[in-house]
Amino acid sequence: MYSSRLFLLIIFLYGCEKSVNYQLENVIQLSFQGDNGEAYFNADNSKVVFQSKRNNNECDKLYIVDIDGNNFTEFPLKDGAFTCAYYSLDDKYIFFSSTMHLGQECPEIYKDPNPRKYIWPLRDYEIFRYANGEAVQLTNYPGYNAETTIHPTEEKVIFTSLRDGDINLFEMDYNGENVIQITTEYGYDGGAFYSPEGDRIVWRAWYPSTQEEKDQWKNNLTKKFIESVPLDIYVAQRDGSKKIRLTDNGATNWAPSWHPDGNHIVFSSNMDDWREDYNAYGSNFEIYMINIKTKKLIRLTENTTFDSFPVFSKDGKKITFSSNRDAENPRNTNIFIADVVDK
């Protein structure tokens, strides 16, 4: 009798959870040239910082723009390649990864001979903290240190690093001290975000299981790139415990981040672009939301090209994302912002 009542209580609680049907409206384009990506809001949601390869630059630099498209400015530091910029809690700092410690030039990266294959190059990035015209280097581990995001209440950051010979998640203080390793399973763990309360994390991962997959991953690490493997979205406690797998569809599910309600994850996936002509998932990435408890999916974009890197404003009223839509060059990626409404 007790177990039956408990089961009914669980069903009742799940049934009473507020159902959402988010849609995007008033989509505005914020960038209009080059390849642009990873736009993240500042503390009061008034502007975003993002990376862009433009003006004949061979690698990405950083830019800042208001959410209405005004006050477009270039980040003052320009030597080397830049990626993954993120504001601190009070906008005192901007964290970013760069090769500026190696000099002015853009380091060479692996380029796959197959132009249809989407890969992430692993440059020799180190993590920096910028304020008042000065950049302080926080990491010093040759390889790859990037994808930094901040804790919502503490002066902590979570980041991705190749420092142990594999790609794992780590946490450290704003000054680079007290580094803690979060993930240890062999394979790729990256792109982590803290939950709005700071007690959980979400990230993308791929864990090779067959010998062929392990050889593939070893080759990726040797050549310093990550290819479009069947990535999945995971949620866990802040320390990596109690890990839950949210996706399991064979597609590339990536770029996850939190909705401010702490119950939903927004991410990008090519799950709806299975290509029979070459027996694989294609390059049409769309943006989805998933309920952590029920795993119910909501598709937010309906497009025929690339939509990814979705991030909500802290009040949940707006979302930024990167897309190939409306680009003069169909391979150019631009930054967009939209209102989020619950229909």
Q: What is the pTM of this model?
A: 0.91
Looking at residue 117, its pLDDT comes to: 61
Looking at residue 212, its pLDDT comes to: 94
pLDDT in tens, 141-156: 988 999 999 999 999 9
pLDDT in tens, 87-111: 999 999 999 999 999 987 887 776 6
pLDDT in tens, 45-89: 999 999 999 988 889 999 999 999 999 999 999 899 999 999 999
Q: Which domains does the chain have, with CATH numbers?
A: 23-342 (2.120.10.30)
Strands lying side by side in the sheet with 35-41:
35-41, 47-53, 61-66, 73-74
CB neighbour class for 219 (10 Å; exposed up to 12, middle 13-18, buried from 19): exposed
Looking at residue 9, its pLDDT comes to: 38
SS3 80: coil
Looking at residue 113, its pLDDT comes to: 58
pLDDT in tens, 194-230: 999 999 999 999 999 999 999 999 998 988 888 878 9
The model's confidence at residue 247, banded by pLDDT at 50, 70 and 90, is very high
DSSP state of 101: G
User: What is the overall mean pLDDT for the chain?
Assistant: 90
